[in-house]
Amino acid sequence: MTSEPSAELNMEIKKLIMQTLSITDINPEDVDDEEPLFGGTNALTLDSVDAIEIIMALQRTYNIRISDQSQARYVIRSINSIAEFILSEKAKTGT
């Protein structure tokens, strides 16, 4: 059983995304945890190239593996889904 994502982890993910994509005109606090990162009404306006960069940064930073494209789409749909995946992967490895 995985625990709920913490506000700290969500903020860390937001900052990582913004740093990775060199986004400086939006505050991390303005990014909704549940809103879709792609499309929708989230403060970030991301595209498929951004998705690749985000996945690579997440894998590098959290030492996790996102194994295929369909899994990647599920994982990076929102800040909460990213955090839940990180917690789930860490629970599997015990780290």
CA distance 46 to 29: 17
Yes or no: say if 82 and 58 are a contact pair by the CB < 8 Å rule: yes
Q: What is the mean pLDDT of the chain?
A: 90
Domain ranges of the chain: 7-93
Show Cβ contacts of residue 28 under 8 Å, excluding neighbours closer than 6 positions.
11, 14, 15, 18
Determine the 3-state secondary structure of 67 from DSSP. Answer: coil
Query: What pLDDT shows up at residue 45?
Result: 79
Superfamily for domain range 7-93: ACP-like (1.10.1200.10)
* Number of helical H runs and strand E runs in the chain: 4, 0
Query: What pLDDT shows up at residue 13?
Result: 97
CA distance 47 to 30: 19
Q: What is the mean pLDDT of each run of 10 residues along the chain (95 residues)?
A: 77 97 94 88 85 96 92 94 95 80
pTM for the complete prediction? 0.90
